[in-house]
Amino acid sequence: MRDLKIIWKIMLPAGLLTLVTMLIVLLSLHAISSISRLASSALDENARRVFLANQAAFHINSTTTDDRNQIHAWTTQMEADAEKQFQINLDKGRSALASLYALESDNSRKALIDETRKQLLQFEKIDKEAFKLTRQGQPTEAYALINGDAYRAYKAAMAHLSKLVKLEENDIAIARKQIDAQGHRIFWVVVIAAISGFLIGLAAVWFSTQQILRQLGGEPAYAAHIATQVAAGDLSVKVIVQPKDHSSLLFAMSQMVEKLNHIVIELRTAASISALSSAEVSSAALALCQNTTENANNIEESSASIDTLSVNINQNTQNAHITDGMAQQSSLDARNGCESVQQTVLAMRKIAKEIKIIDDIAYQTNLLALNAAIEAARAGINGKSFAVVAGEVRRLAERSQTAAQEIGELSGSSVQLAESAGMLLNKIEPSIRKTADLVQEIAASSFEQSHELEQINHNIDQLSQLLQTNAAASEQLSATAEQLSEQAQQVQTMLVFFKTNKS
């Protein structure tokens, strides 16, 4: 109960009271339902049995009119109609008795119904004999039977039914008395339950109120007054708590006021010390910032000189690489040229051999053309055209032979020139290779110098950045110190709001 929120402490008694009210309502509804069931079972069934008994009596009573109508009928048709109506009313009476017998659970009342049936059977038998006498033309004898034995049987049956109706009506009266008694008992139960619920709800409200006051530690107005003073900054207020109270709201507020007193006093002291320390830190940060800025300027000048030297060495390295590339290319070109010349000499020699073959072919073609001309001359007029073709072939062969000889002479001179060029290229190639090796050594040395200067320049740049970062940090530290001093002054100004025991 102590750990519950105040809303639940207020709602629980109300909920309990509501629950008790609902129980009373449910009890009342249950009582009403039980009374309704009792009335339904008692009155409805009894009323049904009374209705069936009266219905049977009505139809049986109607038969007494029907049998007299049969005797006093003027025509045969009227006699037949009267007998028919007599049988209908008699059957309806028996049907009502059968339904009543089915509803009855008391053996004595079932015996009354059986006696009624017997008397009704005797009444039917006598009336039918009277109807027979009437049809035979003896109405006086028939009338005597109806008023005699038949009437006595009828009166006996009606007496049994009347007794049965009185019994059922007596049951209804008893059921009504039981319902009245039950209603009276339920009334007092509901009254007692309502009074008990009211007392329980009142006890729950009192208990909940005591719990709330115990948790507050006093009146809510006093707690609100203390909270208002603390909110106004008055920490010198004295909170009065009950003896042995270590868990209420007022006890917690008294502890809070004492701790706030202690905290505010310490904050004032700390704010004063922070303001002094901030001023010292700001002065030191400004001096450090000035020294760092001077060192950064000197390092920037040195870095600029090294950058210039690095650019020159990089340029030399690039030129050495270009020269090395040219020397390498020249050596490769000389080697390729020598090989090309050698291949050219071989090709020229092969061409000379092929030209010799062409010269031989031209010679053989010339001989064949000569033989063809001779054979054409022998043929006479028929070989004249062939002789012309043979002459043309001979001239072509002679021209081919002359051209092959000229090409052979040119190939021979070209071979000599190519051999001379190859010898010259073989002499130049070692010098070019030596020059390329020297240029490579110069380029490697320049590259190492450039790499070392880049490393030195990178270190100087890092040192410069570190000095710039230190300078910026010094400036930031100085600005932070100034802000800390201002905030310490603001804290001191804000702490003036609180009124402590040592103010």
Is residue 59 within 8 Å of 96, Cβ to Cβ?
A: yes
- Give the domain-ending residue among 169, 204, 239: 204
Query: Are residues 191 and 266 both part of a single domain?
Result: no
Assign 72 to helix, strand or coil.
coil
- In a domain, residue 319? The reply is yes
d(CA 28, CA 187): 8
- In a domain, residue 412? The reply is yes
- In a domain, residue 230? The reply is no
CATH of the domain at 359: 1.10.287.950
Question: Which neighbouring-strand residues pair with 234?
Answer: 499
Query: Are residues 415 and 335 both part of a single domain?
Result: yes
Residue type, 324: D
CATH of the domain at 128: 1.20.120
- Give the domain-ending residue among 204, 230, 247: 204
- In a domain, residue 62? The reply is yes
Query: Are residues 196 and 260 both part of a single domain?
Result: no
Query: Are residues 38 and 121 both part of a single domain?
Result: yes
Query: Are residues 88 and 165 both part of a single domain?
Result: yes
Query: Are residues 184 and 325 both part of a single domain?
Result: no
User: Long-range contact list for 226-230, CB < 8 A, 24+ apart?
Assistant: 226/250, 226/253, 227/253, 230/256, 230/257, 230/260
DSSP codes, 13-25: HHHHHHHHHHHHH
Q: Tokens 């038998």 identify what position?
A: 125
Where b means 16+ CB within 10 Å and e means fewer, 250-284 reads bbebbeebeeebeebbebbeebeebbeebeebbee
Predicted pLDDT of residue 285: 66
Q: Tokens 């001191």 identify what position?
A: 492
User: Long-range contact list for 62-66, CB < 8 A, 24+ apart?
Assistant: 62/89, 63/89, 63/90, 63/93, 63/123, 63/127, 63/154, 64/151, 64/154
- In a domain, residue 243? The reply is no
How many domains, the chain? 2
Structure-block tokens of residue 414: 């070209």
d(CA 40, CA 42): 6
- In a domain, residue 218? The reply is no
Query: Are residues 197 and 268 both part of a single domain?
Result: no
Per-residue pLDDT of the chain (503 residues; tens, 9 = 90+): 555 566 666 666 667 767 877 787 777 767 666 655 655 555 677 788 889 999 999 999 999 888 888 888 888 898 889 999 999 999 999 999 999 999 888 899 999 999 999 999 999 999 999 889 888 888 899 889 889 999 999 999 999 999 998 988 888 888 788 878 877 888 888 788 778 877 887 787 677 676 666 766 767 787 788 788 778 877 777 778 778 777 777 778 777 877 877 787 787 787 778 767 767 766 776 776 677 677 767 777 777 776 776 777 777 677 767 877 776 777 777 677 767 767 776 777 777 777 778 778 877 887 877 787 787 778 777 767 767 777 787 788 788 778 877 877 777 777 777 777 777 767 776 777 777 677 677 777 767 777 776 787 777 778 778 767 877 777 787 788 778 777 877 776 876 676 776 65
Predicted pLDDT of residue 494: 72
- Whole-structure pTM value: 0.35
Query: Are residues 383 and 272 both part of a single domain?
Result: yes
- In a domain, residue 420? The reply is yes
Predicted pLDDT of residue 122: 93
Predicted pLDDT of residue 98: 93
Structure-block tokens of residue 108: 């004595």
d(CA 263, CA 502): 12
- Give the domain-ending residue among 142, 169, 204: 204
Is residue 16 within 8 Å of 197, Cβ to Cβ?
A: no
Query: Are residues 26 and 174 both part of a single domain?
Result: yes
- In a domain, residue 239? The reply is no
Domain residues for the domain of 119 are 6-204
